[in-house]
Amino acid sequence: MRHFYKKAQSQVEATKEGPVFIQPSQRVITNAKGRYVGMIQAVLADYNAKKITKRDGYQKLSIIIRGFVQETTGINVENYTLYEIKGLGIEKLNKLIEEYYVPEFAEDNRATRMSFEASCNSAMGVIKTWN
């Protein structure tokens, strides 16, 4: 799967207890917010134009959110499980990834009840209010 985000420039310091958050400058966060909201809008437009399926949309949305987290915290959560993400203690991220987990991986109809547009709006809201 193609990555929709650039790798974070900050480094993460690892300890026995796990990763340590590294806070980038406010300018870096503000720039990242604009880019990642734009990426979500592009995925939503592709979904609305029927260029991608709902499942593909959720997979892309997950990659975008994980990229944003990496860029703004320095922690590479790209391959983290839901359990590992919850262990970081970032409540907004927990809720988003939990919301996308079933539709991202489900092969059946469990995802049909979910609104992709509402999920995108939730993700953009989290990104816009991230600090």
Tokens of 30: 């503000």
Indicate the domain borders of the chain: 18-126
pLDDT string in tens for the chain (131-residue length): 344 434 433 334 444 566 666 778 889 999 999 999 999 999 999 999 999 998 899 889 989 988 998 888 888 888 788 788 888 888 878 877 777 766 555 555 656 677 899 999 999 999 999 87
**Main-chain dihedrals φ then ψ at residue 18, nearest 5 degrees:** 125, -165
d(CA 112, CA 1): 23
Beta bridge partners of 15: 18
H-only helix segments in the chain: 26-48, 54-73, 82-87, 91-105, 116-129
Whether the CB-CB separation of 85 and 97 falls below 8 Å is answered with yes
Whether the CB-CB separation of 72 and 130 falls below 8 Å is answered with yes
